[in-house]
Amino acid sequence: MPVSAQYMCWLAGEFAALHGLMAVDIARRAYRSHDCEGDELGAEFWFAMSVLVDDVMRHRLDAERTLSIH
């Protein structure tokens, strides 16, 4: 089921708020786990989530604001 970029950003913000500094590590481990199991869709989701969570944690992405792509 496809999700919007805005929803992914919001989800990354919630994930970061819930797990704090461990959020990026959790997302990266989930990516590797799905990748090793051959779950391509799950691996793609968790890879994208790890990137977004990292951006949220480094304050490069504000999950509360509307996403704009330049």
CB 27 within 8 A of CB 53: yes
pTM (predicted TM-score): 0.82
Q: How far apart are CA 33 and CA 39, in angstroms?
A: 9
Percent of the chain with pLDDT over 90: 61
Pair of tokens at residue 1: 């089921």
Does residue 63 carry a pLDDT above 70?
no
Q: How far apart are CA 17 and CA 34, in angstroms?
A: 23
Which pLDDT tens digit goes with each residue over 25-47?
Answer: 999 999 999 999 999 999 999 99
Bigger pLDDT: 69 vs 42: 42
Q: Residue 45 contacts by C-beta under 8 Å, 6 or more apart in sequence?
A: 34
Q: How many CB atoms lie within 10 A of CB 60?
A: 9
